[in-house]
Structure 1
Amino acid sequence: MNYESHNHYLQKAAKYDLLSHFYKYSNPKLHDYYYHKHLQSITKAIPLIYVRQTKKFAHLRLFHVSPSIPAVDVYVNEMRILQNFAYKNASDYLSLPAGTYQIDIYPEGTTTSTIASQMLKLEANQYYTEAIAKRPKEVKLVTLKDSPAVPSGEAAFRFVHLASDIEAVDIAVKNGDIVFNQLTSEHASSYLPVYPIKVDLEIRPTGTKELIRSLPKTHFPVNQATSFYIVSTNNKAAELAVISLTP
């Protein structure tokens, strides 16, 4: 198998993986059909992957984090991978050959004009979350690099600020120290290793003791990394939702 054939089968595997995810809930038969096609293509590419001793796949998921953006359709390289994708929905990770991809976001059911577009370079063996977020005058795709690796017997967590109507915040232990300081919108903290316990946390405006949101008994599962996404709600601007995803 030459290098061109290797790429050919990887591209086919990626296409079938996207299709299997698209039909996962709407048509289980087609989901199974395309998933098996995906496995067949991967199997044909494995010999050369083994010889080259390198992994060429990246992993990408989508996350809709703005209540003011109606449901959307998501296209990757002009192929629809998510339909009627609404606020607080997060997709599974898609395994894609490392490379550059065109991400297009359309209002649900249309392909006339995008509400957001981005060229996204995916590196091999990396995990990414592409968040569909809202700025005051535009929709923004925020790319975050995820890290699922956790030492055995431990846990890790981070916070991601994606609430466009809230300024910089501090994440602190209730009646205790600040854990993450001055976390600004569209940015993520580093992952913090912790013991797998439960802790009462608070979200505060940076530099103050004012409480924006309390997070009682926040749980850090063993052998797992967790991201806590700070997002806006459909209510008044000062209210937040916190959504946890792994990693």
Structure 2
Amino acid sequence: MIMNDTDNKNGMMGYVRVIHTVPDAPNVDIYADNKLIVSNLAYSKYTDYLSVPEGRYKISLYVAGTKNTPVLTNMLTVPKNSYLTVAAVGTLSDMEFLEIDDANIDQTLGKADIRFLHLSPNAPAVDITLPDGTVIFSNVIFEQITPYIEVEPMNYTLQVRVSGTDDVVLTVPNVNLSADKFYTVYAIGFAGKEPELQALLLIDGK
């Protein structure tokens, strides 16, 4: 997974980033076709998008600083002009890769688009609401990625509630959305134990 100037000039590139959302896992190294591409990635951290020639790659995850037996291996197809996020998800004893297509819809000029991704391995289904109880996304289960929705660009406070209830398990202030951008809110961590639930707001695509 090495950037090639010729491929880049010919528009043959895709873009891939990696995020570590496994709450009880150590720091990790990521290899593509046995080449180190991400080093010592800690829980809740993520990379910038990496420029990648279109193609199919063997992605392997190792405990950082080791290269004996991979914790996880999967194949990843990178189409040209695509933006992908590869998330390490689950728990240390039950880990997998989740491939996520980013910024993959048309956007209305002057609007923002946002979606939600539930990656807390022990949390129940949740609703994403505004503080007044208005439901934005409902009954989102573990590993579910909602569709993007179009909203006005402004600063929001979001709440994560146990689905169908008023039980707020996480408040996410200062969700500042700019026009002409795509965003994903990642809910990660454990419900009821450490590391506790938290939200990450990532800008998707260009």
User: TM-score when scaled to structure 1?
Assistant: 0.76
- Does residue 243 in structure 1 map to residue 200 in structure 2? yes
Q: Distance in 2 between matches of 1:233 and 1:168?
A: 13
What residue in structure 2 maps to residue 113 of structure 1?
Answer: 69
Q: Which runs of 4+ in 1 moved over 3 A?
A: none
What residue in structure 2 maps to residue 24 of structure 1?
Answer: none
The 5-angstrom pairing of residues 7-156 of structure 1 reads: 15=2, 17=3, 38-39=4-5, 41-42=6-7, 46=9, 49=10, 55-135=11-91, 137-147=93-103, 150-156=107-113
- Does residue 198 in structure 1 map to residue 187 in structure 2? no
Structure with more strand by fraction:
2
Paired letter, 2:16: L
Paired letter, 1:206: S
User: TM-score when scaled to structure 2?
Assistant: 0.90
Of 165, 173, 176 in structure 2, the residue corresponding to residue 219 of structure 1 is 176
Structure with bigger RCO (C-alpha 8 Å, 6+ apart): 2
Once the two structures are superposed, residues 201-247 of structure 1 have per-residue CA deviations (whole angstroms, 9 ceiling, x without a partner) of 21011111111111234221222111110000597169410011111
Residues 139 and 108 (structure 1), Cα distance of their counterparts in 2 relative to 1, 3 Å cut: same
Once the two structures are superposed, residues 31-52 of structure 1 have per-residue CA deviations (whole angstroms, 9 ceiling, x without a partner) of xxxxxxx54x45xx74xx3xxx
Q: Distance in 2 between matches of 1:213 and 1:234?
A: 10
Unaligned runs of 5+ in 2: none
Unaligned runs of 5+ in 1: 1-13, 18-37, 50-54
Tell me how large the CA RMSD over aligned residues is: 2.2
What residue in structure 2 maps to residue 177 of structure 1?
Answer: 134
